[in-house]
Structure 1
């Protein structure tokens, strides 16, 4: 388990670009805060959440990196990304072993799931992406008291179910 305020793991991932570039959370972060939305192609709420996060990413500009990491079918995920205008978010995916590590590290059992990692690599927030706002993200990054309330610690990893 990984508690908040602990260093986020440097998980490997594959970017949804022309070359399927190998990357990692640390490479994506590149010294900036990183906002990650974990999602699946079967999640009915996820496209609307990605629409919202893309607008937030546009509003926050280059001071924060946004990544949407799909946890299932990368080919179908790429099709969905190509169909939408989520141009302010970096898109990628991960293999099954890495997905299990992400679930254990960031304590999630449903999607969409938001993780905020500070510029120093510290996990600042893990929780539902459905209520994400630019103000809430800024408050979490600034460590303000009225920032979205994070989970106290990551939950144990679990196995796949029908929706996840």
Structure 2
């Protein structure tokens, strides 16, 4: 024990700093379809925008490296109609070097903290693509990655419970 009563092991664990570096980030896949221009719809319409976000993370071959991806689907329709104005699908990924995160906390770290780091760049791409596609720039609101993570955990638990009752 040390002078203040803490054990050396606890000190070592508390002293270990979390290290995270973004080694690279990139568009993995992107598709933008200006349906309004293809169908010849008028430009004086009220849009209704629907944004869907999915997250994915996987370990890479190199030690302490992970790939984290934000998969975004944005569909804009004419308000009160099924007429599509545009469809944007974007997979934006980052390669992260992460050390010092306990194993039991790595999954939420990868699916919450890493997407938070990538999101401003994804937001800029969405704004630029929608503007360059002939629409006013779409500035996405902040995304609640904690809420997405919790919803996915709840969905998985419900699926496991449903599977357990059918077996």
Normalised by the length of structure 2, the TM-score is 0.25
Considering Cα pairs closer than 8 Å and 6+ residues apart, tell me whether 1 or 2 has the greater RCO. Answer: 1
**Higher helix proportion (structure 1 or 2):** 2
Structure label with greater radius of gyration: 2
